[in-house]
Amino acid sequence: MATKRYSRQRERICRAVLDTTEHLTAEMVYQRLKPESPSLSLGTVYRNLNRLVEEGCIVKLPFPVERFDGITEPHAHFLCGKCGRVFDMPDVDYDSALDAKAGAVYRHTVRRHELIFYGSCADCAEDDEK
């Protein structure tokens, strides 16, 4: 097994994801870090984000544009179809029985599932009412 080498860039990229409740795209991480690190490339951000996913530090969310979440415990998300923001829905219980059922029925090894709600967020719904 390869040992993990410390990388200051990887640490900064990880902190960018962990220090926000937003679900950042690689481009968003890049734009946030670029002013302090002019030599940073978008490719470096992508490589490090994917490595952090492999290491279990963050999770990759399967939206049309990949987003990254610092909360690694299974939880539901909401995607606003108007503004594109993604929100955590921690009060929607994760149903591990669904993993077991899907695994038993289809004989797959199910580790987790994603639950994504779609609609208009509270801000966009309020704007629509104005």
Tens digits of residue pLDDT in 83-112: 999 999 999 999 999 999 999 999 999 998
Asked whether residue 68 falls in the same domain as residue 78, the answer is no
Question: How many domains does the chain contain in total?
Answer: 2
Look at residue 130 in the predicted model and tell me its pLDDT.
Answer: 73
Shortest CA distance to 47 belongs to which of 130, 118, 115, 55?
A: 55
- What is the extent of the structural domain holding 82? 73-130
Look at residue 2 in the predicted model and tell me its pLDDT.
Answer: 46
Residue that terminates a domain, selected from 50, 72, 94: 72
Tens digits of residue pLDDT in 25-54: 999 999 999 999 999 999 999 999 999 999
Helix axes 42-54, 8-18, angle to 10 degrees: 70
Tens digits of residue pLDDT in 113-130: 989 999 999 999 988 777
Q: Answer whether 75's CB lies under 8 Å from 62's CB.
A: no
Look at residue 1 in the predicted model and tell me its pLDDT.
Answer: 40
**CATH number of residue 100's parent domain:** 3.30.1490.190
Look at residue 4 in the predicted model and tell me its pLDDT.
Answer: 63
Asked whether residue 63 falls in the same domain as residue 86, the answer is no
Asked whether residue 2 falls in the same domain as residue 59, the answer is yes
Asked whether residue 8 falls in the same domain as residue 51, the answer is yes
Asked whether residue 12 falls in the same domain as residue 68, the answer is yes
pTM over 0.95: no
Asked whether residue 32 falls in the same domain as residue 56, the answer is yes
